[in-house]
């Protein structure tokens, strides 16, 4: 992760200091502190998570438009290729045109980890860690069968385009929308389970994951879904942009 943090610092140096806009509490949900068991992990020791705020829904095209309007360095035609691949915002019709009013409430996708991080930074927020994201996604359902059914149904569907608007499904018990069933989401430490082969880079890797081939025989469908998430995250590079990959932000409780 050191190289990612170094490039993130470089991005700040190149693009200047962000103007931080205070986030509004009503746009976020407080996730209480607690512990949980990470799915698909060999180590079943409960993981502890401190309380934090999380966005009610993924960042939308309309929200991202406001960001690139005030941060032109992240516009479609101006973003440096080291920070986003050639498909960055490829479905937008222009730097300040996401394709029409019907797209305004759809989640923004085709954004890189660097871009998602910069957006959150501009609002005084950050990306969630894997632990925070998985914890919020798990604890928010009273009935775990409902969660499993939702995830497996979504994984079995073909890609839908244009993407539906956020907040169309029923929120979970924490009043968080679309944690599952709409898009994949970037997290801060997305590649902490990826083996690079370079010992210096592998220091922070989480070695408690099952091997990917074990997913097919997972007894718990929730574990199978988790395998899919970990496999997808591990396939990413920070500059990648994917048609169904977006993000939401979190914030520490002060």
Q: Would you give per-residue pLDDT tens digits along the chain (254 residues)?
A: 444 444 443 333 333 333 334 444 569 999 999 998 877 565 678 889 999 999 999 999 999 999 999 999 999 999 999 999 999 999 999 999 999 999 999 999 999 999 999 999 999 999 999 999 989 987 756 666 666 677 777 766 766 789 999 999 888 888 999 988 899 999 999 887 544 334 343 444 444 433 333 333 344 555 666 777 778 888 899 999 999 999 999 999 97
Three-class SS state of 118 = helix
pLDDT of residue 193: 55
Residue 58 lies in a domain: yes
Residue 172 lies in a domain: yes
Domain count, the chain: 1
Which CATH number do you get for residue 193? 3.90.1580
Domain that holds residue 38: 2-249
Distance CA 206, CA 204 (A): 6
Distance CA 75, CA 55 (A): 23
Residue 195 lies in a domain: yes
C-alpha distance from residue 92 to each of 24, 64, 81, 122, 240 (Å): 27, 11, 17, 21, 17
pLDDT of residue 238: 95
Residue 254 lies in a domain: no
Residue 202 lies in a domain: yes
Distance CA 187, CA 116 (A): 9
């Amino acid at each position: 992760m050191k190289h990612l943090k170094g490039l993130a610092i470089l991005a700040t140096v190149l693009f200047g200091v962000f103007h931080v806009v205070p986030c509004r509490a009503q746009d976020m949900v407080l996730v209480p502190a607690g512990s949980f068991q990470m799915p698909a992990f060999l180590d079943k020791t409960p993981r502890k998570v401190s309380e934090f705020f999380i966005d009610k829904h993924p960042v939308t095209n309309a929200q991202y438009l406001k960001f690139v309007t005030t941060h032109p360095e992240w516009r479609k035609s101006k973003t440096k290729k080291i920070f986003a691949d050639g498909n960055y915002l490829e479905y937008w019709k222009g730097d300040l045109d996401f394709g029409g009013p019907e797209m305004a409430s759809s989640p923004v996708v085709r954004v890189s980890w660097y871009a998602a991080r910069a957006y959150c930074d501009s609002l005084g927020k950050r990306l969630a860690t894997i632990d925070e994201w998985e914890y919020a996604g798990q604890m928010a359902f009273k009935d775990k069968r409902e969660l499993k059914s939702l995830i497996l149904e979504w994984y079995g569907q073909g890609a839908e385009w244009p993407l539906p608007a956020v907040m169309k499904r029923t929120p979970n018990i924490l009043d968080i929308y679309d944690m599952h069933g709409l898009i994949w989401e970037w997290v801060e430490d997305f590649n902490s389970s990826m083996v690079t082969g370079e010992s210096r880079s592998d220091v922070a890797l989480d070695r408690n994951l099952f091997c990917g081939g074990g997913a097919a025989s997972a007894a718990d469908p929730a574990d199978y879904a988790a395998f899919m998430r970990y496999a997808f995250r591990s396939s990413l590079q920070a500059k990648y942009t994917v048609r169904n990959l977006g993000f939401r932000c979190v914030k520490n409780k002060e």
